[in-house]
């Protein structure tokens, strides 16, 4: 009888902290994946715009960067920040409501750190980029936009790989 009882109840390590219905979990998961996809898409668009500016020379480069600053960078980065925060919140909710947990597995913990770092990078660079858009900073100082775009692509790409392969196993508690 005890074998039957233990097989019906999940071990304490596999219990979720916040049991949610399958429909709600799938809704949160879709929101998480969609926000991550939007974040990657916005980052690709910003990277393409910066690359177009670098490919130009002289007045063409200045015109491209001015258009980039005026119409694209700040709205793109604000939308990326919103997507990043949505991705972070839904990731935490998924961690609380699934067997993966928030810091139970290394890949989930690393994804959480990557998300926080990427959002922090966006916050850190919004100020200088806003100065660029307002004309307070010279257009030659676009290196930080390129750095942000490339860094975010690397971080988000790595987070995607972690989501698919789920490496490194469980975090051990001592």
> 41 burial class (0-12, 13-18, 19+ CB within 10 angstroms)?
middle
Structure tokens of 13?
């390590």
**140 — pLDDT class (breaks 50, 70, 90):** low
**46 — pLDDT class (breaks 50, 70, 90):** confident
**149 — pLDDT class (breaks 50, 70, 90):** confident
Number of neighbours of residue 84 by Cβ within 10 angstroms: 27
Residues in contact with 53: Cβ distance below 8 Å, sequence separation at least 6, in sequence order:
61, 64, 65, 68, 142
Question: pLDDT tens across 111-127, in order?
Answer: 999 999 988 888 877 76
Task: List Cα–Cα distances, 101 to 63, 93, 94, 111, 171, in angstroms.
Answer: 48, 9, 8, 12, 11
Which residue in this structure is represented by tokens 């290196």? 143
User: pTM higher than 0.75, yes or no?
Assistant: yes
> 23 burial class (0-12, 13-18, 19+ CB within 10 angstroms)?
exposed
Structure tokens of 12?
């304490």
Per-residue pLDDT, 18: 77
Per-residue pLDDT, 1: 44
């Amino acid at each position: 009888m005890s074998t039957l009882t233990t097989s019906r109840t999940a071990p304490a390590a596999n219990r979720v902290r916040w049991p949610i219905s399958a429909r709600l979990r799938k809704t949160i998961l879709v929101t998480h994946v969609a926000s991550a996809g939007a974040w990657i898409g916005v980052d690709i668009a910003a990277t393409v715009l910066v690359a177009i500016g670098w490919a130009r020379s002289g007045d063409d480069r200045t015109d491209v960067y001015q258009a980039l600053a005026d119409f694209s960078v700040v709205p793109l980065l604000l939308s990326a920040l919103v997507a990043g925060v949505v991705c972070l919140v839904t990731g935490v909710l998924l961690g609380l409501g699934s067997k993966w947990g928030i810091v139970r597995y290394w890949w989930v913990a690393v994804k959480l750190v990557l998300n926080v770092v990427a959002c922090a990078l966006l916050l850190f660079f919004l100020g200088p980029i806003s100065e660029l858009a307002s004309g307070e900073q010279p257009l030659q100082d676009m290196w930080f936009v390129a750095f942000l775009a490339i860094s975010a692509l690397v971080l988000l790409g790595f987070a995607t790989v972690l989501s698919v392969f789920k490496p490194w196993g469980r975090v051990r508690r001592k």
